[in-house]
A = this chain, B = another copy of it.
Amino acid sequence: MIIGSVSEDIKVEKRVALTPEILKKYKTLGLKICISKGYASHIGFSDSEYQNEGVEVLNNKEEVILKSNILIQMGIPSNDDLKLLKENQTLIGVLNPYNNEEKLKNLISKKVNCFSLDLLPRITRAQSMDILSSQANLAGYKAVVDSFSIFEKAIPMMMTAAGTISAAKVLVVGAGVAGLQAIATAKRMGAIVYATDVRMASKEQVESLGGKFLTVEGADNLETEGGYAKEASIEFKKKQEDLLKETLKKIDVIICTALIPGKKAPVIIKKDMIEEMQSGSIIYDLAASQGGNAEFTKPNEVVDYNGVKIVGEKNILNKLPVSSSNLYSKNVFNFINNLYDKEKKQIDLNFEDEIIDKTNVRFNGN
């Protein structure tokens, strides 16, 4: 069996699905690999690095797509590329079925097996393939590093002969995977970190990282069975607003990570709150692509509102492409490892397996 991967459109996506680190592991599975020329050179991995590990570097994307049994990508390929796919080929990536329904229906009708890793169930066994975790984790880290680099003051407390710089106060909205890593990173830098979330379990988690949890009093636990958040009640939202408004007066940097799966991101940082903030503060909105947690967030833009900078980052991991690609390739490998039947040397569409079943893209139950 041959695994293939072609260059992404590096204007929107710098990450790749195959990094040199993982190649050895594919070899042990007995899989061949081919990639298109200049596949990852934009992030410092030269073709020769791949060739050294036995990867075939083909001249253009078409060759790769035609040759491979499994095509692994980061995002969904362009329409041109998709046209080349045919029966029994398998496509694995973050296909985002809700936004790409048309394209995918097309593929499915061609009997191409499509697996979208964003559909992965959050079960223990799937942790090693969990791209949401691996990528959100890095996003949380990077959001902090980036916002601190934009911020015009120093973060940690410094008592010096020329006076004291007091520690910056950071608020993390949403303490999921990204939020927790953001808390940890900000804490490391010496910031005073606050966090808020709708799930009760996150309080202990925030505190386990040295953050302070802003508890909305009388709040229900808005956690689904899968560990995700439910949409909050109006009453809850009101209480959360009041609490935040008070807190925000002293906050220097806000990192937004609150998401509700399958819905628009909740708008948590409202206009009136932003007006209370000090000039020079930063709102770094990781939820930008889902609409943002702050009122003025615009994806991939920096909005200046009364001196408060609102940074809407759509794909922050483009700023950390090496680490994120490494983790993503590992996730994909683990997924293929589960999918591939070493005896029969082919993929095994065992829909009894929750992981395979849930990630397989089907519409209306087909």
A residues whose Cβ falls under 8 Å from a Cβ of B: 21, 43-44, 46, 127-131, 133-134, 137-138, 141-142, 145-146, 148-149, 152-156, 158, 160-163, 165, 185, 188-190, 278-280, 307, 319-323, 326-328, 330-331, 334
How far, in Å, is A63 (CB) from chain B's closest CB?
Answer: 26
Which B residues are in CB contact (< 8 Å) with A21? 163
How far, in Å, is A92 (CB) from chain B's closest CB?
Answer: 15
A321, closest chain B residue (CB): B152
Cross-chain contact B146 with A158 (CB below 8 angstroms): no
Say whether, besides A153-B320, A320-B154, A327 and B163 are in contact (CB < 8 Å).
yes
Cross-chain contact A128 with B162 (CB below 8 angstroms): yes
Give complex CA distance A127, B162 in Å: 8
Give complex CA distance A155, B319 in Å: 13
Give complex CA distance A280, B110 in Å: 41
Cross-chain contact A163 with B330 (CB below 8 angstroms): yes
Cross-chain contact B188 with A152 (CB below 8 angstroms): no
Question: What number of copies of this chain does the assembly contain?
Answer: 2
Q: Which of B133, B142, B322, B328 contacts A280 (CB 8 A)?
A: B322
How far, in Å, is A179 (CB) from chain B's closest CB?
Answer: 16
How far, in Å, is A278 (CB) from chain B's closest CB?
Answer: 8
Which B residues are in CB contact (< 8 Å) with A334? 162
Among A149, A156, A334, chain B packs the most CB atoms within 10 A around the CB of A149
Give complex CA distance A258, B36 in Å: 44
Cross-chain contact A162 with B133 (CB below 8 angstroms): yes
Among A127, A321, A323, chain B packs the most CB atoms within 10 A around the CB of A323
Among A44, A163, A321, chain B packs the most CB atoms within 10 A around the CB of A163
Say whether, besides A145-B145, A152-B44, A161 and B322 are in contact (CB < 8 Å).
no
Say whether, besides A161-B134, A162-B331, A163-B326, A280 and B149 are in contact (CB < 8 Å).
no
How far, in Å, is A28 (CB) from chain B's closest CB?
Answer: 15
Which B residues are in CB contact (< 8 Å) with A319? 149, 152
Give complex CA distance A155, B163 in Å: 30
Give complex CA distance A188, B44 in Å: 27
A278, closest chain B residue (CB): B44
